[in-house]
Amino acid sequence: MRVSLIFTFCVVYCSPSLLLEVESVKTTSFVHPGGIHPQEQLDFVKEKVAQKEQPYFNAYLQLLNKTAQAFTHPTHAVANFSIPGYYVNASMHINRSWPLQADSFDAYACALAYHISGGQPIFANHSLRFLNAWAYLNVAYSDSDGPLVMTYAGTGMVIAGELLYNYNGWNSTDRTKFFHWVTNVYSKASNQIKTNANNWGDWGRLGSILSAHLFDNSSQLQTVVNLIKGDLFHKIAPDGHMPEETRREANGIWYTYFSLAPMTAACWVNYQTTKENLFNVSQGNASIKLALDYLYYYNMHPDQWPWYKNPNKGSPSSWPGNLLEAMGSLYNDSRYIDYVQSARPIIYPTHHFAWTFPTLMRIQLNDYF
């Protein structure tokens, strides 16, 4: 609206060159850092930590423990990230996924500590060590799980890049190289899987919206939002179960978590960027909250899971604790909070990156200040 007012004003009064300049204002530019960790959230947490307020303070000490380890870690980039299907060769799948998972975790932890510490460059520099390693060496992903693992493990790299967006110790050569990696490898993988029906699609959408935010690409962001809205009530049935995931036999509860974690994270990025709230969109009784309630209930009562006998369940300190920690504060649901309280502070172990530091990085829909 402001732009169109200026535009109208200019049509009447301005010189053609000024009009051109005003026109260019129309291209959206998102706020950086933003997306999954908006500046307000970073400022809020920084203040809580400075005041030694819990649970933030202990969560920060735990983060510092992770960064102290990261400082000693070598980088593990590979040229061709080749991941066989988990059900084809589990040990090879795990072994080859690990280099990106480990480096992403370290890059993300250090980039976050850079902000919460009040901008100490040592953290940013260590984060860049991991980003540079992949940006300069990795050119491809391959094999049947390559695009999926690149997408869910690489999220940590993209979040780190977003957090370091304004860091003046990141020179333009390295920055450009990293942006090329996001375009040519990371985004390619996430865009490739974002229309899949099951959790692959949710990870693709999270990867795609994070990249869209990094590159100020509002049309790509809108594409993701349309995908989320387009099949939300295919993914979430009227009773809250997720048919694409509940059929995964012994791992139906895990896959339900593995779909909701990136879905909610993508909705959070969208909310922070556009203020559009998908967390309470509903159709009949079905909503994201109903699916979370379903996950919460059956993770507590796996013996009642209607889809498989004795399914695997998670725990407060791992999955779905990380997701319920984030969603407990977002929806202000005391049951979720009670579930995770004794496990705080929660850091999700190195595997995928949606709700990785949920105790430290409080999630809420209303303003932080």
Ligand X SMILES: *[C@@H]1O[C@H](CO)[C@@H](O)[C@H](O)[C@H]1NC(C)=O
Residues that bind ligand X (CB under 6 A): 65, 68-69, 80, 82, 89, 91-92, 95, 98, 121-122, 125, 132, 139-140, 142-143, 169, 171, 173-174, 215, 217, 219-220, 238-239, 277, 280, 284-285, 332, 334
Pick 22 or 337: Cβ nearer ligand X:
337
> Closer to ligand X at the Cβ: 219 or 309?
219
Shortest Cβ 77–ligand X spacing (Å): 14
Q: How far is the CB of 165 from ligand X (least distance, A)?
A: 16
Nearer to ligand X, 311 or 328 (CB): 328
CA atoms of 205 and 221, how far apart (whole Å): 9
Cβ–Cβ contacts within 10 Å for residue 295, how many?
Answer: 26
| Closer CB to ligand X, 179 or 313, in the complex | 179
Smallest gap from Cβ 336 to ligand X, in A, equals 11
Least distance to ligand X from the beta carbon of 13, Å?
Answer: 30
Cβ distance 58 to 345 under 8 Å? yes
3-state helix, strand, coil split of the chain in percent (to 5) is: 65, 5, 35
* Helices 56-72, 39-50: crossing angle, 10 deg rounding: 100
Cα–Cα dist 105/238, whole Å: 36
- Shortest CB 129 distance to ligand X, Å: 8
Nearest distance in Å: CB 235, ligand X: 16
- Closer residue to ligand X, CB minimum distance, 8 or 282: 282
The nearer residue to ligand X, 15 or 77, going by C-beta atoms, is: 77
Rg (CA), the chain: 21
Q: Least distance in Å: CB of 310 to ligand X?
A: 26
Q: How far apart are CA 326 and CA 328, in angstroms?
A: 6
Nearer to ligand X, 17 or 283 (CB): 283
**Residue 278 is encoded by which pair of tokens?**
């998908």
CB under 8 Å to 199, separation ≥6 — which residues? 244, 245, 255, 258, 259, 262
> What is d(CA 223, CA 246) in angstroms, rounded to the nearest whole number?
27
Q: Are 270 and 209 a contacting pair, CB within 8 Å?
A: yes
Closest distance between ligand X and the C-beta of residue 299, in Å?
20
Residue closer to ligand X (CB basis): 143 or 325: 143
Beta-sheet strands, E only, within the chain? 80-82, 140-142, 282-283, 286-287
Residue 7 identity (one-letter amino acid): F
